[in-house]
Structure 1
């Protein structure tokens, strides 16, 4: 495993060796393809070599993708978003039809406060796998954050729609119910909020913001 990691590092270091090659594209989703970035010949060769090396090292392409996704999420939860993006990009090189890759891209963009841009990748993920409750939750969260910024009620409605789908797909998704509770609290619809609060509490009583709970308990 040390050999494959060393090879990956060499690949990334060599990416910047040519002045004609766009720099730092490995920390952009899909290496910046959606932004019109085009790789130089050297970078394309690096991609080819990387894929060939993975095919030699891992038993299957699926195993290679799984390993890179595992590393990507590990970096994500450590809040090391640059290294997380690099691993998601590697997974994308290996399999551009993997729904979790696009979910990862979207989550990193969300953490970078690029909420509108994140929606593009959540939609890509959901097109490939519309049954992932967590992606609907992530998408709803981006809409909710956009609402907080713009105070456009249409964005809050879209957030609620996505949270509802997330809850319907997974009735154990406590975060979806917690978000629905908070969203309806904003609407001052206490009856609806209390319904979702009750469900949330059954799953995890600590999931609700104490201030939201206090507001809902007031007569």
Structure 2
């Protein structure tokens, strides 16, 4: 039971807090925004905006004109492609945290139009698929992002989260080992990534390693402790006094 609780807690925070502040409970089925993954896949057959990189579809002249207009508008507002893409990625995560997965994917695709080589676009694509429950597609998007920037702490940490999420079904210790390896790699790149610190604390707690669980918990708390849940605090205080 403790393992399942900890895995559930860390799996809830697939994305870190770098783009937007995540509420305590992310509800992916807000009124008017809910969509099952089956319905998503059906809609994506005709709505290319629901597919990463627009599904590599051949666009019409009017679609190309609309794309260029969007690029021109953001270049005028932000001054360059990177700043425009980052604004759209931030918006995408904000919509995702509100439970509006459609609009989130729209914004991530717009960011891709502005800057196709921005690894954080694929972080966004992955977060959408993780929210929809398709961990394999989420992993594919993270791997594509990591091919652009192998040293992205955010992508490495979310890749570790997918390995955690597999564990209840696989019961394969290799999944946990892979997750720890990725988190340690992420930590070396960015020791102040709170999402990484929280998840390192959680996995060591699950392995009954109180020394390391408390080490990373305290490091996360010193930086603000945003991803730490009340339930995890209560559990670690009880088991690791």
Asked if these proteins are the same fold (TM beyond 0.5), I'd say yes
Partner Cα separation in structure 2 for residue 192 and residue 164 of structure 1: 12
Which residue in 2 is equivalent to 1:5? none
Which residue in 2 is equivalent to 1:53? 69
The one-character-per-residue Cα deviations of 1:53-74 (angstroms, maximum 9, x if unpaired) are: 1344333444543443233233
Task: Report the CA distance between 1:172 and its aligned residue.
Answer: 1.5
CA RMSD of aligned residues (A): 2.5
**With structure 1 as the length reference, what TM-score do the two structures score?**
0.74
Partner Cα separation in structure 2 for residue 79 and residue 152 of structure 1: 31
Partner Cα separation in structure 2 for residue 167 and residue 48 of structure 1: 41
The one-character-per-residue Cα deviations of 1:6-36 (angstroms, maximum 9, x if unpaired) are: xxxxxxxxxxxxxxx9412311222234xxx
Partner Cα separation in structure 2 for residue 100 and residue 54 of structure 1: 19
Contact 1:115-1:143 within 8 A present in 2 as well: no
Partner Cα separation in structure 1 for residue 223 and residue 87 of structure 2: 31
Contact 2:167-2:176 within 8 A present in 1 as well: yes
Tell me if 1:113 matches 2:133: yes
Q: Name which of structure 1's ranges 124-133 and 98-107 shifts more when overlaid on structure 2.
A: 124-133
Task: Report the CA distance between 1:118 and its aligned residue.
Answer: 0.8
User: How many residues are matched?
Assistant: 190
Contact 2:71-2:114 within 8 A present in 1 as well: no
Structure 1 193/68 Cα, relative in aligned 2: closer, same or farther at 3 Å? closer
**With structure 2 as the length reference, what TM-score do the two structures score?**
0.68
Task: Report the CA distance between 1:120 and its aligned residue.
Answer: 1.2
Report the secondary structure of 2:186's partner residue.
helix
Structure with more contact order per residue of length (Cα contacts < 8 Å, sep ≥ 6): 2
Partner Cα separation in structure 2 for residue 87 and residue 51 of structure 1: 12
Structure 1 67/175 Cα, relative in aligned 2: closer, same or farther at 3 Å? closer
Which residue in 2 is equivalent to 1:68? 88
Structure 1 73/115 Cα, relative in aligned 2: closer, same or farther at 3 Å? same
Partner Cα separation in structure 1 for residue 189 and residue 45 of structure 2: 41
Which residue in 1 is equivalent to 2:47? 24
Q: Which of these residues, 178, 183, 200, is aligned with residue 198 of structure 2?
A: 178
Which residue in 1 is equivalent to 2:240? 216
Task: Report the CA distance between 1:157 and its aligned residue.
Answer: 1.0
Structure 2 residues without counterparts, runs of 5 or longer: 1-43
In our comparison, the structure showing a higher alpha carbon Rg is 1
Alignment of 1:6-155 (within 5 A): 22-33=45-56, 39=57, 43-57=59-73, 58-59=75-76, 60-155=80-175
Q: Name which of structure 1's ranges 80-89 and 203-212 shifts more when overlaid on structure 2.
A: 203-212
